[in-house]
């Protein structure tokens, strides 16, 4: 991913955006999109006990899923 450094005045304007926005040049051509990140840390609605329980559950790997899928055909 290319990294672009913005000047403070642009950062200030972007900081007020609350939803995805589309950027255009002066001719109206789309030059990019901006998706604002979360303004606060993301927190799971699940309790720690539930997260630990789920982490301990058996998982299915891709190979097993594909084998099952082939049997359904």
Q: How far is CA 50 from the centre of its chain?
A: 23
Dist. CA 11–CA 63, nearest whole Å: 46
Dist. CA 6–CA 34, nearest whole Å: 13
pLDDT given at position 18: 80
Model confidence pLDDT, tens digit, residues 11-69 = 887 777 788 889 999 999 999 988 887 777 778 899 999 999 999 888 889 999 999 99
Would you tell me how many other CB atoms lie within 10 Å of the CB of residue 14? 13
What's the pTM? 0.40
**Who has greater pLDDT, 73 or 27?**
27
The size of the chain, in residues, is 73
Phi, psi of 67 (to 5 degrees): -60, -45
């Amino acid at each position: 991913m290319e990294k672009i450094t913005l000047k403070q005045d642009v950062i200030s304007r972007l900081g007020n955006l609350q939803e995805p926005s589309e950027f255009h040049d002066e001719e109206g051509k789309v030059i990019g999109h901006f998706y604002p990140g979360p303004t606060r840390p993301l927190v799971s609605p699940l309790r720690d006990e539930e997260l630990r329980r789920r982490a301990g559950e058996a998982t299915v790997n891709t190979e097993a899923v594909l084998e099952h899928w082939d049997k359904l055909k």
